[in-house]
Amino acid sequence: MHSIVIFASGRGSNARAIIDHFKTNGNARVALIVSNKADAGVIAVAEEERIPFLVIGKKTFGETLLVEQLMEYKPSLLVLAGFLWKVPDSLIKTFPEKIINIHPALLPLYGGKGMYGHHVHNAVLNARDAESGITIHYVNEVYDSGNIILQARCPVNSGDTADSLAERIHKLEHFYYPRVIEYLLGQ
Ligand code: GAR
């Protein structure tokens, strides 16, 4: 049985989709949820699903103690699902090619520090792009620049708001992220 550790800072809808997917598919389970926000929606998801969770501070992130705590779960993958802090090099070195992220745009477009959630969707709308999408990629030392595993596209409709575009993007994320994880674990 593979263990997945999810890192999330927000509502946790991707975490929810991944948890639900592995209730009935594949030989994996979400073993731990790590968040930098004690009041994030994803913590409520963890509590509801009785999944252990860890709330970390900026100082703890990357320190030996956290790395050791993570090692205890023997994770096959560390999955960033709406996690907004940069992953420290120590973690990347400890888990090479085992950390993946989802970004709500077609990288290299609209990536980098500060580009998350509605900031991304507003930038896409301001640029009047005809399409947007999602990128699932490996995490390396530079924000949003690791090797791309999958991209999926959707139209940007006239009259779209950041909310309506986010909703379309979330649908893509919830479909593809669990399936990409299952694929990577099966390799
Ligand atoms: C997702 O859309 C994810 O792509 C985005 O945060 C959202 C989290 O939603 N991540 C980034 O913007 C990272 N730069 P969720 O909490 O409902 O899963």
Determine the Cα–Cα distance for residues 1 and 76; give it in Å rounded to an integer.
Answer: 10
Query: Which numbered atom of ligand 1 lies nearest the CA of 115?
Result: 14
Q: Which atom of ligand 1 is nearest to the CA of 11?
A: 16
CB of 133 closer than 6 A to ligand 1?
no
CA of 40 relative to ligand 1 center, distance in Å: 12
| Domain 2-186 CATH (choose: 1.10.3720.10, 3.30.565.10, 3.40.50.170, 3.30.110.60) | 3.40.50.170
Report the separation in Å between the CA atom of 128 and the middle of ligand 1, taken as the mean of its atom positions: 21
**173 Cβ inside 6 Å of ligand 1:** yes
Report CA-CA distances (Å) from 10 to 48, 86, 146, 159. 16, 15, 22, 26
**Tens of each residue's pLDDT in the chain, 187 residues:** 999 999 999 999 999 999 999 999 878 999 999 999 999 999 999 999 999 999 998 877 767 778 888 999 999 999 999 998 889 888 999 998 999 999 999 999 999 989 999 999 999 999 999 999 999 999 999 889 999 999 999 999 999 999 999 999 999 999 999 999 999 999 6
In this prediction the pTM is 0.96
Extents of the domains making up the chain: 2-186
Catalytic residues: 103
For residue 41, the ligand 1 atom closest to its alpha carbon is 16
